[in-house]
Every structure is written in C-alpha cells, then in structure tokens.
Homo-oligomer: A and B are copies of this chain.
Amino acid sequence: MATQLSPARLGSLFRPRNIALVGASDKSAFSAMAYRNLVDFGFSDSTYLVNRRGVPVHGQSTVTSCADIGEPVDVAFLMVPQAGTLDALSDAAAAGIANAVVLSSGYGEAGDAGRRAQAELVAHAESLDMALLGPNHLGFANLVDQIPVTPVPGLPRRAGRIGLLSQSGASSGAMVEFAAIADADLSYLVTLGNEAMITAGHVLEFLVEDENTDAIAIFMETVREPQRFAEAARRAAEAGKAIVVLKAGSSQLSARTAAAHTGALVGDDRVISAVFADLGVIRVDTIEDMMITAGAAARLGRLSRPGIGVVSISGGACDIVADRAEEFGAPLPELSAQTKQQLVTMLPGYGTVQNPLDVTGAAMLDPTLFTRTIQTMSQDPSIGVVAVVNVLPWQAGDGPYPQQVFVDAIGAGAEAAATPVSYVNQVSAPITDATKAVMAHGKITHVIGGLRQAVVALSNVGWWSQRLAELAADSELAPVSVVVPEDISRTGAWSEHTARTALAAAEIPVVPATLTHSAAQAVAVAAQLAGPVALKIVSPEILHKSDIGAVRLAVTGADDVEQAYQAVVSAAQRHVPDSKIEGVLVSPMRSGGVELLVGVVRDPSWGLMLAVAVGGIFVEVLDDSVIAPLPVDRGRARRMLDSLRGAAVLRGARGGTAADLNAVAAVIEKVGNLALALGDDLESLEINPLRVDGSTVEALDAVITWSPRHEDDIRRDELQEIG
C-alpha cells in the first residue's frame, strides 16, 4: 500500500525534532560534510550517529543500529551503500522512524538493473509505511528551523520565504549561493533526486501549506507525476504563491542529456510550456532569473496590473530597459495625459516625459525629484509596479554611502507610492550586508541587480498576476456538455461522415455534404448544388483520402461527377482492398479565405492538448502553431489566434477579407468542448481545414481517432454491438 504523503505527514520529514545519520563514517566525504552542517547549525545535539561497527565517527560516539537509539526519531538520513539500503530501512522502521532520506545513487538513473532496484526500494519503504525522499540526491535543508539534512556546503544561517526544489543535487549549492546574492533567501532547500516516492508535487503541496513560504523556485529536468504537480500548482495559484520553474530540456541536446543522467523521459517541451502557462507557472531560462523572479514574487506579491513604470537618472539605462522590454514582451505602458502633465511640471525643460522616465541630472541637485516622480508614476492607471534604476554599493565603504541621499529619496517615493516599487541596480552585483545597510537606511525593501534581470523578473511577476486573475475568473466557467452519437463504436478511427455528425452535434459549422451511395445519386446531389463540387470517399479505414486519390475537387457537370464517383470508389478499393466503404460525400466546393488547422491530441502526461495553426507555409515551413491544454474558452482561443505569426493573414494582411476572429475563437472553444465530451478514449480530433472567410467559419474535413483499449473494454463494446 502506498505510503500516505500529505503535507502534514511531510511535516515530520521536513521539520524533524531529531535525526539519525545512518552510515556515518569518517571515510565518507558526504557524511563529513553533512555532519559539519549539523554542527554549524547547532543541530548536532539532536543528531544520532549510526555506524555498523559502533566506532566513534566525527569525534562522536555512535550506535550500531537505530533500534539502539532508545528514543523516538523523526528522520533516518541514510548514507549507506546501495546494497545496505533495504536493511537500513528495516532497521529504521523497527526503531519507529517514519521518514528516510536516501542519498545513494545507482537506482532509476542507472539502467534496467537500477530501475528494478528502485522499484524494490519503494516497495520495501511502502511495506514499512515509510516516507522516502530520493534516492540519488543530496537531502534537504529546513532553513526556517535551521536544520540541514544535507551535505550541500555553504548553506545560509538566515531564512527567507522561498522554497527551492532541485532535481539536480550538484547544482543546488550554486542555486543556494545565488539566492543569497540576490537577497532571495530560502525557507527550504529540497533536492529531489529520482523522486522514487516523494515527488515535486508532494513537496509543492507541503510548501503551499507552509506559512513560512511565499514563493517556490524549482529546477527540474522532467515532471514526474504530472497530474499531482498540476494539482499542486493549482493550489499554489489559489494561495497566491508563485511557482517559478527552470525547466531544462528546451533543446534537443539537453533533452537527450537529461534522459541520460536522470533516467527519465523528457516530455515535449512545447507541451510543458503550454501547460505551465495554463497553470500560471512561471518558466525561466537561468538560475539567476529563477531566484530573482521568485524573490520578486515573494516580495511584491500579486500586482494589480502588469504595466511597469521605469524611473532612472540614466538615459542610457532607460534605453537598455526599453530594448530588453521589447525583446521579452514586458509592458512599459504609455503614461496617461494626466500623469504626463504632472511630470512635466516636475522635470526641467530639456527632459522628455515618457516611460521609461529619465529624471535627468536635475535629480543630482534635487533628489526629491526621485520621490515625486516615483509617486506620480505609481498613480498612473496603467502602472502596476515602478522600477527605479540607480546604483547600490556591495562592498563596505569607509564612511556613509556617498549616494545615500538618493537611496533615501527613492525609498521615500516607494513609501508614498500607490504600487509596489523595485529598486534596480544597473548591473548584476551581490546584495550584501553593506547593500542591506544602505537599503535599510532608505527603507528600500526590494532590489534587483541588473537591467535585463529586472525586466525579466518584473514582467514575469506581472504575467503571473494577470494569469492568476484569469484563473480565478475561469473557475466560474463549466465546460459545455455536448451530445455525441452513442451508438457508434469508439475504436480505431471514425469516418468523415461519422466525425461530421459529432461536429454538427457540437454545433461546429460544417460544410454541407450528402452521403451518396451511387453515381446517379451523386449526380443528382451535384445538380442541386449548381456549382463545382467535391467528392470524397467515406470509410473509417481510410484517413488520408487525398493521398490515395479518393478525393476529387472542383468537379463540374454530370459526366464528370459520375466519373469522379467511380474514380474515388475504385481508388479506395484498389488501395485499401477490404475497407468498409460507407459511401461518397458530395459537397459544394469552397474557395477563398484562410485555412486553419484545429486539432486536439492526447499527451500521455498532460491529457488533451488543443493546437491551432494557419495552414500552408505557416504550419509547413515555419512550424507556426500554438497549443494549450483543454478546456480552452473563447477568450483563451482568441489569445491563441492572436499569438500566431500567421494571424496577420487572418487579419487580411495580404488583401483578403479580415476574419471575424471572435467567431473563429467561438468555434475553437466548441472543438475543445467536443473533444472533452468525447471522453477518455479519444486519441485525437483534427479539423483540417477549418476554412475562415470573413465571418464564415466552416469545417471542410475532420478526423477522429480512438486510443487502443484494454481487452475488457473491447469485450464490453462488442457486447453492446451485439446487444
């Protein structure tokens, strides 16, 4: 039976009253480093050393087994070799220890044998009802209570409010170091390793409930237990705690590398990005951006709007910020007429009033210019945060900081401001005790080092704030239920005719079509349509009709229609000899407009994903498509359309009629809802093309396929069909 791993349960792991260091040895560098941490943090009195031979270790006496400790212990910190791990778990369990931290490697990351060993390890821990962190990791540190259960060196002696999770043990020390450099101090560091039992999702759940944690930073190469992760991310969003993820694997090379050293398969990177965006999880590219963004989210909280107002004494810095903002899509809104008017009265004649605002050298003579412009800018209706670009010291000077007067003026502006204010150092420099003394004097509470870093972090926090608002609104929407045919077998593929029925049931506009069963019937239908027609074979076994010549387009006149009918039937019979042919669809030909592809595919990790693309060059040459997990409402669908490069064509860039994008978005919403309504067996649903011409939106073809099923399901279907 699986060990129960609720936040409360994990509390006994991450907030232990005491621990047993099992496998303590002077010969082990990890043991020595871990014990050194415990001594440094004053937790060695709450640490029991267990050594098989009972010899003194790290200058302390040891016991030979956990059972000999003689009092309740919360965590067994295992440093034993892989071969001794199962016995060590049994010994710990026998002593009543409920949690194990297992450092050894040679498990899931080490081929088939390793995977078997890992399954055995988990089964054994579960049989003992133990919670197990790792293996193949470097433990954790609870910095709130100053308890280091890890050999990672250089842990800080102060706590902050950011939980840091890392699948990489070897890089976690560098992340901890940069957290200190960026003044983004940690509540917990948890290295995850192979996540054999406790996964990132469990730790997230714990941190979402932890009152000492305001934001969570995660370095990961793969998302294990995607649904648990997603559910924990939803709870974090509800709690207003930002999750910032540095997810490796955006390149093919790193996906391969990560697979090599973690043993995990790395999912499609675009799917990950789409899912993160949906969940309100911020994705970043570097360790620095991860810690700075998490720090900004923790300090600033949710912004009321994403607009960034920039104030600086350096025109050059204003330019760099503007360039990076355009690169990263960070909003630097134009200020309102009222704000501009107020600023004009403050600034000398030669200054230009805009955002970013260059307060000019006049602020050297009158530092209150900072105070007043910050306050005024913060009151602009489009601004959600003010970034004040200036300098800060990081090395201790001989006397008071010569530029303290400017820092104090900025601090006064921040206190009077209507929005949060971030102080931005022009370059990436550490935030040291010397920096903090200057900040404290000026009552500055948040600093970001570096212009690029500030643009990235503040636009991330703005995006997250907006996404949280959207999610809160989304929760009101229930997916529309769609009636779909129940009498048709949900296996293999559906013919176009069947798929059309489902689309129509979902109120998705479909080009008119008549299923004909003879050439004469086809001729009669074509005659009624009074224009060129399309003829297509209908068979569940033939999905790629055009490829085998079972489609004829722009057919005119009775003779040609008759000939086309025969041609598509014989093409089908020739290429797929025993296919079940339902008939031939006859539709009016359509021309003009723009063709979209709208598809839904089930991702093995994340479920149904909706993809939208403009046909032709955009999808074939430029790979210009956008994806999102279902459900997707029409507002979201509209944003998806707008984000396509091909959207310009929809808007009539090449002389065509501008499409009614809201009408298109409404149809896309219906496609998503249909896919959801089709249920768990749906493998894919593709409309290709969805023709858009002005306000006309029409599916010209559709394919629906079903997942292969278990024996039982198939038998049930057969019984139903027989019945």
- Measured CA separation A701–B353 after assembly (Å): 47
Measured between C-beta atoms, what is the minimum distance from A392 to chain B in Å?
A: 10
- State whether A178 and B323 are in contact (beta carbons under 8 Å apart), knowing that A332-B253, A654-B617 are contacts in the complex: no
A327 to B621, CA, bound (A): 19
Q: Is A452 an interface residue (CB 8 A)?
A: yes
Bitwise interface map of A from 397 to 438 toward B, beta carbon under 8 Å scored 1, else 0: 000001100000000000000000000011111100000000
Q: Are B170 and A314 interface neighbours, CB within 8 A?
A: yes
**Any B CB within 8 A of the CB of A254:** yes
Q: A170-B314, A221-B316 provided; 7 other pairs, C-beta below 8 A?
A: A153-B402, A168-B315, A257-B315, A257-B319, A286-B450, A288-B428, A621-B654
Q: What B residues does A323 contact at CB under 8 A?
A: 248-251, 254, 285
Q: In the complex, are the beta carbons of B316 and A621 less than 8 A apart?
A: no
A666 at the interface (CB under 8 A from B): no
Interface centre among A319, A358, A646 (most CB of B within 10 A): A319
Q: Are B261 and A315 in contact (CB under 8 A)?
A: yes
Given A111-B350, A286-B450, A250:B326 Cβ within 8 A: yes
Query: Would you give the shortest CB distance from A134 to chain B, in whole angstroms?
Result: 14
Binary per-residue interface labels of chain A (145-168) against chain B in the complex, 1 for a CB within 8 Å, 0 otherwise: 000000001000000000000111
A75 to B401, CA, bound (A): 31
A319 & B221 in contact (Cβ 8 Å cutoff)? yes
**So how many copies of this chain end up in the complex?**
2
> Does any Cβ of B come within 8 Å of A175's Cβ?
yes
A251-B323, A253-B322, A261-B358 known; A174+B285 contact, CB < 8 A: no
Residues of B within 8 A of A620 (CB): 653-654
| Contact assessment for A430 and B427 in the assembled complex, using a CB-CB cutoff below 8 Å | no
Chain A 658-685 interface 0/1 with B at a Cβ cutoff of 8 Å (1 = within): 0000000000000000000000000000
Q: Chain B residues near A29 (CB, 8 Å)? A: 364
Residues of B within 8 A of A248 (CB): 316, 319-320, 322-323
CB of A205 within 8 Å of the partner chain: no
Residues 580 to 618 of chain A near chain B (Cβ within 8 Å) = 616-618
CA distance A645 to B451 in the complex (A): 31
A314: B residues at CB distance < 8 A: 168, 170-171, 174
Can you list 12 A-B pairs with a CB-CB distance of less than 8 A? A106-B350, A171-B426, A248-B316, A248-B322, A248-B323, A250-B326, A253-B322, A254-B319, A254-B322, A257-B322, A258-B315, A287-B427
What chain B residues lie within 8 Å of A254 (beta carbons)? 318-320, 322-323, 326
Residues of B contacting A425 with CB < 8 Å? 174
7 A-B pairs closest in CB distance: A168-B316, A248-B319, A251-B326, A174-B426, A170-B314, A254-B322, A261-B315
Residues of chain B lying within 8 A (CB to CB) of residue A358: 257, 260-261
Assess the B350–A109 pair: CB atoms within 8 A: yes
User: A257's contact among B111, B170, B260, B356, by CB below 8 Å, is which?
Assistant: B356
Per-residue CB contact flags for chain A residues 249-279 toward chain B (1 = under 8 Å, else 0) read 1111110111011100000000000000000
CA distance A317 to B261 in the complex (A): 12
> Interface code A101-123, partner B: CB below 8 Å = 1, 0 otherwise?
00001100111000000000000
A71 to chain B, nearest CB (A): 33
Q: Does A622 contact B (CB under 8 A)?
A: yes
**Docked CA distance A175–B451 (Å):** 12
Task: Let me know if A325 and B253 touch, CB within 8 A.
Answer: yes
Complex Cα gap A315–B254 (Å): 9
The verdict on A340 contacting chain B, using a C-beta distance below 8 Å, is no
The residues of B that contact A430 with a CB separation of less than 8 Å are 394, 429-430
Query: A352: nearest residue on chain B (CB-CB)?
Result: B260
Please state if A427 and B177 are interface contacts (CB–CB under 8 Å).
yes
Q: Is A471 in the interface zone, CB < 8 Å from B?
A: no
Does A649 sit within 8 A of B, measured CB to CB?
Answer: yes
By a CB distance below 8 angstroms, the chain B residues around A252 are: 326
User: Is A370 in the interface zone, CB < 8 Å from B?
Assistant: no
- Across the interface, do A168 and B356 meet the contact criterion of CB distance under 8 Å? no
For chain A, residues 307 to 333, give those with C-beta under 8 angstroms from any C-beta of chain B: 313-320, 322-327, 332
Knowing A322-B254, A621-B645, the reply to whether A315 touches B262 (Cβ < 8 A) is yes
Residues of B within 8 A of A177 (CB): 391, 427, 429
A354-B256 Cα distance, complex, nearest whole Å: 10
When distances are taken between beta carbons in the complex, the residues of chain B under 8 Å from A354 are 256-257, 260
Q: Which residue of the partner chain, among B219, B350, B616, B653, contacts A316 with CB atoms under 8 Å?
A: B219
Whole-angstrom CA separation of A428 from B246 in the bound complex = 16
Out of B173, B288, B316, B322, which one reaches A170, CB within 8 Å? Answer: B316
A42 CB-CB contact with B under 8 Å: no
**A325–B251 CB distance below 8 A:** yes
> Is A714 an interface position by the 8 A CB rule?
no
Nearest chain B CB to A511's CB is how many angstroms away?
Answer: 25
Task: Give the shortest distance, in Å, between A352 (CB) and chain B (any CB).
Answer: 4
Q: A170, A177, A332, A350: which has the most chain B beta carbons within 10 Å?
A: A170
Asked whether A181 is an interface residue with its Cβ less than 8 Å from the other chain, the reply is yes
Chain B hits for A171, CB < 8 A = 314, 316-317, 426
Indicate if the CB atoms of A426 and B250 lie closer than 8 Å.
no
Please, which residues of chain B bring their CB within 8 A of the CB of A11? none
Q: Does residue A504 face the partner (Cβ distance < 8 Å to B)?
A: no
- Inter-chain CA distance A327–B284, complex, in Å, is 13
Q: Which residue of B lies closest to A105 (CB)?
A: B361
Known: A314-B170, A317-B171. A178 touches B253 (CB 8 A): no
Q: Which residues of B contact A105 (CB under 8 A)?
A: 361
A239 within 8 A of partner (CB): no
A251-B331 Cα distance, complex, nearest whole Å: 13
Whether A648 is near chain B, meaning CB under 8 Å from some CB there, is: yes
A244 to B: closest C-beta gap in Å: 15
Contact of A350 among B110, B153, B256, B450 (CB under 8 A): B110
Please, how many angstroms separate the alpha-carbon atoms of A653 and B654 in the complex?
21
A257 to B325, CA, bound (A): 14
Complex Cα distance A616/B621, Å?
Answer: 14
User: Do residues A426 and B287 form an inter-chain contact, with CB atoms below 8 A?
Assistant: yes
The answer to whether A181 touches B427 (Cβ under 8 A) is: yes
Q: How far is the CB of A312 from chain B (nearest CB, A)?
A: 8
Contact call A427/B178, Cβ cutoff below 8 A: yes
A488 → chain B closest CB, angstroms: 36
Specify the chain B residue showing the minimal Cβ separation from A427: B178
Contact pick for A622, options B167, B251, B645, CB 8 Å = B645
Q: How far is the CB of A662 from chain B (nearest CB, A)?
A: 21
- Checking B221, B315, B391, B617 against A617 with a beta-carbon cut-off of 8 angstroms, the contacting residue is B617
Choice from B360, B452, B649 contacting A288 with Cβ under 8 Å: B452
A363-398: CB near B (< 8 Å → 1, else 0) gives 010000000000000000000000000010010000
Q: How far is the CA of A285 from the CA of B260 in the complex (A)?
A: 34
